[in-house]
Structure formats: structure tokens, C-alpha cells
């Protein structure tokens, strides 16, 4: 029997408030993270992901008090990322109530951190976030063509999507798996906040490149986008923010829709 697909609301947090932007930019306030966490738990979310989106850019630690407050009101698996640069940061976050830690910028700058985290806390605790953006320069290892025949590849970005790395996202996914990542949180910067659907090409090829679970992120605007990503890729979970934050739909309604359309889901 296939494993049930997971639906994961995401709390992008800046200065203690949930925010939402487009293409990792034009960020606006959406509400209180504790209230959102309570709401999504009651609606039947399978997990929650909390990302302190400016911690790495500002070179500060994740706000542990906000993490603790969210952990107090929910008992579903809870992943925290942003500003985790060393083992001690991860330990503090896990002790504050998180079940898993997510690293992105720190993983690119110090890949050994993935292995160190896995060795101490276990593979199931280590999520590597990959923020990928289409790059139309001709130097990627895995290239694709858009509808106009123009070639592109997916480049890993760090520091909240602001900094280019020159790293091919598909190659990086393979590497983080080999280093000990237990899961990949894959976000398309091009699709982020557009509400036009997930980047199916990016998601499909990352899923093919690795054997660990992949969470699709970026672009969900309605339930059919989740149905599409589950039908067209081997992704294990779909993450969304706007659709839930602004109550265009609820987690339980999305799950009912997916179940009616033949997706194995936990109700």
C-alpha cells in the first residue's frame, strides 16, 4: 500500500510574525505564528514547517521563543529552519520543541554539517532545504527547454534566495542525500507566491535523482495544484502557505478533495 501523502502548511516568520511574499520578495504581514499553528493542527495538518526567513541574512539565531510558543500549541511534527549554522544551534532548536531542523545556506557553505547533524540527531531530524531558480546561462549540468526553446537549468540560491551559488540543484540534491539528509524541502523561487502551481519539471527531476522524501514548495494557489504535483511527480508531501493563511481553502477541505481524486491521504 502506498505511503499517504502529507499536507504541510508553512509559516515563514520574520521578526516574530508570519509573512508571505512573491519570488522571495515583496513580503507582507499575514499574522501570528501561534494562532496559525493552532488552526492548522485543528484542521488536520500532517506537519508544520517554520522558517525564520531573515535569520541567515541577518546572521542571527532563530527566534527560539517563537519556536517554543508554537511547539506548546501543537503536537504534530514540527520542522524549524533559518539561522542554523552549527550543531549547537540545531540542539537549541530541538530542545525548544522542534522535531526536525532544516538547513539551507549553512549546508551549502559547510556540507559536512549535514553529516554531523545526521550522526548526532539521526537522519530523520535532518531536512535540507533547496531553494532553486531557473538560470538561462549555458553552464548547468542538467538543462531543460522552455516553451520558446530557450535552455535553462536550476541553480541553488542561498541567503533567502538572494545569493547565487553556481550549484546545479539536481546535483546538489544527490549530494545532500549522500551526506546524510533525511528529507529535502524543495522550493521553486520562480513559482513562489505566484499561486500558479508548483514547478513540475523541477520537482519531477529532483524526485528522480534521490530516494529520500521530497517536499514540494512554491506556487500552490488552489487544491488542484496539489493534485497535479502528486499525480505528475513522486513527491512525498506538498507544502503551501497563501492558500491556507488567507483561507482560500483549509487543510481538511484540501485533503477531502485529494482523497476524492484518488490520492492516498490521512484524513
Positions marked active-site:
12, 131
Task: Kindly report the backbone phi and psi dihedral angles of residue 26, in degrees, each rounded to the nearest multiple of 5, phi listed first.
Answer: 50, 55
CA angle 108, 113, 119 (to 5 degrees): 145
Residues with Cβ < 8 Å from 260, sequence gap 6 or more? none
d(CA 229, CA 39): 25
- Which of 95, 92, 76 is closest to 84 using CA atoms? 92
Q: Report the relative pairing of strands 144-145 and 17-22 from DSSP bridges.
A: unpaired
Specify the DSSP class assigned to residue 5.
Answer: B
Q: Parallel, antiparallel, or unpaired for β 163-168 and 6-14? A: unpaired
Amino acid at each position: 500500500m502506498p505511503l499517504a501523502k502529507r499536507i504541510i502548511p508553512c509559516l515563514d516568520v520574520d521578526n516574530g510574525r508570519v509573512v508571505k511574499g512573491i519570488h522571495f520578495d515583496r513580503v507582507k504581514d499575514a499574522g501570528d505564528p501561534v494562532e496559525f499553528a493552532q488552526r492548522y493542527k485543528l484542521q488536520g495538518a500532517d506537519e508544520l514547517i517554520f522558517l525564520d526567513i531573515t535569520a541567515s541574512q541577518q546572521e542571527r539565531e532563530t527566534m527560539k521563543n517563537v519556536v517554543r510558543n508554537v511547539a506548546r500549541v501543537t503536537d504534530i511534527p514540527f520542522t524549524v529552519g533559518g539561522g542554523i549554522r552549527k550543531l549547537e544551534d540545531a540542539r537549541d532548536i530541538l530542545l525548544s520543541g522542534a522535531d526536525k531542523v532544516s538547513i539551507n545556506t549553512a549546508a551549502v557553505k559547510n556540507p559536512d554539517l549535514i553529516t554531523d547533524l545526521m550522526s548526532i540527531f539521526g537522519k530523520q531530524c535532518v531536512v535540507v532545504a533547496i531553494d532553486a531558480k531557473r538560470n538561462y546561462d549555458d553552464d548547468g549540468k542538467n538543462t531543460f527547454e522552455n516553451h520558446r526553446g530557450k535552455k535553462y537549468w536550476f541553480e541553488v540560491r542561498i541567503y533567502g534566495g538572494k545569493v547565487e551559488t553556481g550549484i546545479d540543484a539536481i546535483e546538489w540534491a544527490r549530494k545532500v542525500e549522500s551526506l546524510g539528509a533525511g528529507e529535502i524541502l524543495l522550493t521553486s523561487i520562480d513559482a513562489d507566491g505566484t499561486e500558479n502551481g508548483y514547478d513540475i519539471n523541477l520537482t519531477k527531476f529532483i524526485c528522480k535523482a534521490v530516494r529520500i522524501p521530497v517536499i514540494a514548495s512554491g506556487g500552490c494557489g488552489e487544491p488542484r495544484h496539489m493534485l497535479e504535483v502528486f499525480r505528475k511527480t513522486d513527491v512525498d508531501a506538498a507544502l503551501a502557505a497563501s492558500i491556507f493563511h488567507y483561507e482560500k481553502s483549509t487543510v481538511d477541505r484540501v485533503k477531502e478533495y485529494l482523497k476524492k481524486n484518488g490520492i492516498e491521504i490521512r484524513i
